[in-house]
Chains A and B, each alone.
Chain A
């Protein structure tokens, strides 16, 4: 059994676990008892990190994504869509240091911290734990002068990953999605170049983490020592200081959770998929379209807002969001498109997420 089941975000994992009548959970808890490999703090602090992912010491076994001691897996409740890629995430905070809690922004991590995210594809999305191919592992390293972003590209043998600067294109064949799930979907996955990392991970022009915010982490993760709320777990592991009890911290729903309110699901999806750029301090600040979870100005959210620099991205539609009229809303047009120059986000996908499009359609249709 590999590590892959825990890649899936809590919501999907929950569904999967229910389907498997709890069996999956038992298996999960039986994992990770490998030798305590050590994170190489000095190598990660260098101007350029090691050439190979294995040399960072972040993983006890990179190929199975088994983390080293002190490297803690996490998931975010509503994840970014990246062409259906499965993702594993890990956080490393150097011994004796703690990240500082923030209610709405990413936590303030101490120097030496590393955030790790691996992107992978199974052969068939219906069996996400089988025949998983690792594509890239991204590191955000907190240095003295701020965060630095790096990507490691996995080799064909799946034994290790090498530092990559210029980005890469990887051919993917993925079954189990769309209307003909037995027919593998073929597309080109794009590993971002170093500058493209900052195209999303920028806050007031500086590189910043996106995922580790209270609202994204405030959910249960199936740790080896049992399922726990992640905020509570981080507190207990002494990597996070200043966090309130999970019940007092903000939380977004899993966007696929049909039981959650439609508005919260759509806003959670927009928050993670759009608001890294579309916020007042983000790369798309000039658009005036702001989609953070806490945004309260309806025009800034796009409701009745005319586009400013959309060009052909407007699709001939007059407003970003036309309440009650999904097909008159630019936001939906750009979420559906896969054409560069039209599609949003501009980076990070070549496919569109049909289920998310349906959620957004439903949401806009229900707006007054």
Chain B
């Protein structure tokens, strides 16, 4: 233990001040009767450069926490040792909200929040590292929507987090840009990992298992940021996504069928490669248009430029679930092929052609199955009785986006 002489006991909380650097201090909070207030105060009174250390222990919190100071590290003593429990939460829309820049959240757990777990809004350089966000009662519609939830943020790093039980998405990145989600595990959520209305994202080396759907790349209308693009999903294990959909109706993820592997809806320039998919009983990969009606002239509902290649496919497609599963399998038959494209194009393209950069390309190992369902725009009705299952028709490639580089992720 460092510098124990500096310790000062204040009530049940222990404040440890380390003269590290010019002004940077370590503010240490220990469990105890007034830990809730101490934690709230520590996060409010922190100065740029400070580290707020949350000592190991269980913290029963009644109100949400928030941080609005730049350049702060909030660090626990391990995601199984420092546990912020929100079972008794009576206010706020999330467990922890960050609204400042260059913030690192690491090594703690957030349990059973009434709304979202850990959220950043409007942050630049936000890091979520080695966190656990969990609803401990298992998958339930009453659970909060998102576990790890950066939104309207820039330079987002999600690294080594575990999220369980979110009634929408475990790891949800929305309306953000320059994003890395890696080395994380999402299980027993409706959506494991969801990248929505976002620009430039790398999603790799994650495990998405026992969700309803593993990894979703979505773009939705009527939002301040839309037209998601330049997204790479690679080297992930997307296996056994077999939890029945428990999302409250009305949310877009409520349409996701049990057993969805990777789903790309709308968006531009999405690359799905070198992932390992198995045990997804609806389909391993689904590429689809936004299926609902909407009123938004600026919105492109059709995916533009999707390139799926060099993935490994195990067993799947054997038990297509729900409305979407039925729509697919009514055309494709069962088992559903490994890769399914709904085939929806815009009306002008339907009567002419689709430009090369906007097409769907598939380049997979011999034996991989595929179906273009040839659906008509937004009606989800096939315009041809027979789907196109000739995978070789879709061979080709798109130039890959550059790797996402984050300022907080540079060596040194």
- Which chain A residues in 282-307 approach chain B with CB under 8 Å? 283, 285-286, 288, 298-300, 304-307
Q: Once bound together, how far apart are the Cα atoms of A61 and B93, in whole Å?
A: 37
Asked if B152 and A314 make an inter-chain contact with CB atoms under 8 angstroms apart, the answer reads no
Q: Once bound together, how far apart are the Cα atoms of A166 and B43, in whole Å?
A: 10
Query: Taking the nearest CB of chain B, how far is it from the CB of A171, in angstroms?
Result: 13
B41 interface contact, C-beta 8 A: yes
Stretch at the interface among A70-78, A93-101, A189-197: A189-197
Asked if B168 and A311 make an inter-chain contact with CB atoms under 8 angstroms apart, the answer reads yes
B45 interface contact, C-beta 8 A: yes
A108 interface contact, C-beta 8 A: no
Asked if A350 and B90 make an inter-chain contact with CB atoms under 8 angstroms apart, the answer reads yes
Query: Taking the nearest CB of chain A, how far is it from the CB of B174, in angstroms?
Result: 6
Of all chain A residues, which has the CB nearest B38? A166
Number of chain B interface residues as a range: 35 or more
Query: Taking the nearest CB of chain B, how far is it from the CB of A80, in angstroms?
Result: 16
Q: Once bound together, how far apart are the Cα atoms of A350 and B114, in whole Å?
A: 14
Stretch at the interface among B115-123, B154-162, B356-364: B115-123
Query: Taking the nearest CB of chain A, how far is it from the CB of B47, in angstroms?
Result: 12
Asked if B222 and A288 make an inter-chain contact with CB atoms under 8 angstroms apart, the answer reads yes
B399 interface contact, C-beta 8 A: no
Among B90, B92, B174, B248, contact of A311 (Cβ-Cβ < 8 Å): B248
Among B44, B66, B116, B222, chain A packs the most CB atoms within 10 A around the CB of B222
Q: Once bound together, how far apart are the Cα atoms of A135 and B68, in whole Å?
A: 26
Q: Once bound together, how far apart are the Cα atoms of A201 and B292, in whole Å?
A: 35
B296 interface contact, C-beta 8 A: yes
Asked if A340 and B114 make an inter-chain contact with CB atoms under 8 angstroms apart, the answer reads yes
Asked if B93 and A340 make an inter-chain contact with CB atoms under 8 angstroms apart, the answer reads yes
The interface residues of chain B lying within 8 Å CB-to-CB of A309 are 116, 145-146, 149, 151, 168, 172, 174
Contact with B along A310-349 (1 / 0, CB 8 A): 1111111111000000000010000000011100001100
Asked if A306 and B146 make an inter-chain contact with CB atoms under 8 angstroms apart, the answer reads no
Asked if B99 and A198 make an inter-chain contact with CB atoms under 8 angstroms apart, the answer reads yes
Q: Once bound together, how far apart are the Cα atoms of A205 and B146, in whole Å?
A: 22
Among B144, B149, B223, B250, contact of A315 (Cβ-Cβ < 8 Å): B250
A188 interface contact, C-beta 8 A: yes
Among A285, A288, A341, A347, contact of B113 (Cβ-Cβ < 8 Å): A341
Among B40, B223, B296, contact of A308 (Cβ-Cβ < 8 Å): B223
Among B62, B113, B121, B249, contact of A317 (Cβ-Cβ < 8 Å): B249
Query: Taking the nearest CB of chain A, how far is it from the CB of B130, in angstroms?
Result: 24
Among B40, B66, B248, chain A packs the most CB atoms within 10 A around the CB of B248
Asked if B116 and A196 make an inter-chain contact with CB atoms under 8 angstroms apart, the answer reads no
Given A195-B66, A286-B152, A305-B222, does the pair A346, B248 have CB atoms closer than 8 Å?
A: no
B91 interface contact, C-beta 8 A: yes
Query: Taking the nearest CB of chain B, how far is it from the CB of A310, in angstroms?
Result: 6
A-side residues, CB < 8 A to B, are 165-167, 169, 188, 190, 193-196, 198-199, 202, 205, 280, 283, 285-286, 288, 298-300, 304-319, 330, 339-341, 346-347, 350
3 nearest A-B pairs in the assembled complex, by CB-CB distance: A311-B145, A314-B250, A341-B114
B-side residues, CB < 8 A to A, are 37-38, 40-41, 43-45, 62-63, 66-68, 89-93, 97, 99, 113-116, 121-122, 141-146, 149, 151-152, 167-168, 172, 174-175, 196, 220, 222-225, 248-252, 292, 294-296
Q: A198-B68, A308-B220, A314-B248 are in contact. List 20 more A-B contacts (CB 8 A).
A: A167-B63, A188-B90, A190-B63, A195-B43, A199-B97, A283-B121, A285-B152, A285-B224, A298-B295, A306-B252, A306-B294, A311-B116, A311-B146, A312-B143, A313-B115, A340-B91, A340-B114, A346-B91, A346-B92, A346-B93
